[in-house]
Amino acid sequence: MQGQLATRTAQRSCCGKGAPCSHPQPTAPLFRPIHPTLATSTTNTSWIARAEPDSNNFVSGPISVNTSNLAAPDPVTAASEPKATRPIDRSKGLWTRCDKCGVILYIKHLKEHHHICYSCNFHLKMSSQERIAHLIDPGTWRPLDETLSPCDPLEFADMKNYTDRIREAQAKTGLQDGVRTGTGLLHGIPVALGVMEFGFMGGSMGSVVGEKLTRLIEYATQEGLALMIICTSGGARMQEGIMSLMQMAKISAALHVHQNVAKLLYISILTSPTTGGVTASFGMLGDVIIAEPQAMIGFAGRRVIEQTLQEQLPDDFQTAESPAGPWAAGPCGTALFPQGRPFRDDWLL
């Protein structure tokens, strides 16, 4: 038809009925795509659909296109354009997973349940601040030696400098090192309390941790206070070498004076995990030793022992309830947390 676009049609099956239909179908595209070389050349002759002068018909033929005037995108304009961003994960910080049974736990309900899994009753990790708030009477906590900060005597560096690791841990926890020490009242009874912070480099014991605990013990001895230390640690801090190992002897010597000379009480509370140099020193020296149920307590790691002995260890190996665990080494005062309840001092009063 004159003045309108002519289209060749063919009888095809477009309705999915398996038989030809009467709908007009284009047998060839009306517009040819621009040749790929047009994008790299400043002047190209390429096939493109164009309108014939003084005509309403479209024809296909060669034309000359000049692309030299096409400028690159303005960096300022490009920067101002909105970029596609990942959607915000609003569930972050709301949920966690039980380390024992793998059940997904709502953090708000978990805190109300004292960080005890309401599926398997496993005691999850608590921060040092949460443990202090749980044990000490409100308004009676008095911290000690908060300004002590670690140094880097060996200028240690592995994949990252030791000083960088310290700064990251300090920013993460708000602490100078991996333990809080201070005094307070438990049901009106004055006590000296030390709480290790696993979030600070795995609760590892360095020179500052050893110094703060030693000062706490000496203060408790001087003031005639009962002493409690809540342990959670991966052991001595390797980045400080022999300086960290010396803390085992220093703390143990201070405890000897507190327990055997001053005849004062020391209660050791073992939470999961308590391993390495902490287990080999003050963790096992308490007059009363209390452990969380199913807490991992040991010296060397499970894999190290298996490789040394060349045998498979039982699943409950190095747990508080294990018959081959720390309690089998000799007589010691032990107490396990009642099911579904965290430690509270009234069990000992």
Q: Are residues 222 and 197 in the same domain?
A: yes
For residue 80, is pLDDT > 50? yes
Structural domain includes residue 101: yes
Better pLDDT: 281 or 56: 281
What are the pLDDT digits (tens) for 3-58? Answer: 444 444 444 445 555 555 555 555 544 444 445 544 444 444 444 444 444 445 44
Q: Are residues 226 and 120 in the same domain?
A: no
Q: Are residues 141 and 226 in the same domain?
A: yes
Tokens of 7: 């289209």
Q: Domain with 178 in it: what CATH number?
A: 3.90.226.10
Q: Are residues 263 and 335 in the same domain?
A: yes
Structural domain includes residue 16: no
Q: How confident is the model at residue 281, as a pLDDT?
A: 96
Confidence band, pLDDT 50/70/90 cuts, at residue 258: very high
Q: How confident is the model at residue 113, as a pLDDT?
A: 84
Q: Are residues 282 and 150 in the same domain?
A: yes
Q: Are residues 221 and 180 in the same domain?
A: yes
Structural domain includes residue 37: no
End residue of a domain, out of 124, 144, 170? 124
Q: How far apart are CA 301 and CA 212, in angstroms?
A: 26
Q: Are residues 205 and 138 in the same domain?
A: yes
The proportion of the chain whose per-residue pLDDT surpasses 70, expressed as a percent, equals 66
Q: Domain of residue 104: give its range.
A: 95-124
210-222 burial, b for 16+ CB within 10 Å, e for fewer? bbbbbbbbebbbe
Structural domain includes residue 63: no
Q: How far apart are CA 263 and CA 257, in angstroms?
A: 8
End residue of a domain, out of 124, 140, 162? 124
What DSSP character marks residue 207? H
End residue of a domain, out of 80, 103, 124? 124
The CA distances from residue 273 to 100, 139, 314, in Å, are 13, 30, 18
Q: How confident is the model at residue 2, as a pLDDT?
A: 45
The proportion of the chain whose per-residue pLDDT surpasses 90, expressed as a percent, equals 48
What DSSP character marks residue 226? E
Q: Are residues 323 and 281 in the same domain?
A: yes
Structural domain includes residue 307: yes
Number of Cβ within a 10 Å radius of residue 60: 13
Structural domain includes residue 72: no
Fill in the amino acid letter for 338: P
Cis amide linkage into residue 326, ω under 30° from 0: no
Question: What's the CA angle centered on 202, arms 124 and 321, to 5 degrees?
Answer: 45
Q: Are residues 191 and 299 in the same domain?
A: yes
Q: Are residues 164 and 299 in the same domain?
A: yes
The answer to whether 44 touches 15, Cβ cutoff 8 Å, is no
For residue 180, is pLDDT > 90? yes
Structural domain includes residue 141: yes
Fill in the amino acid letter for 41: S
Number of domains present in the structure of the chain: 2
Q: Are residues 332 and 201 in the same domain?
A: yes
Q: Are residues 141 and 240 in the same domain?
A: yes
Structural domain includes residue 83: no
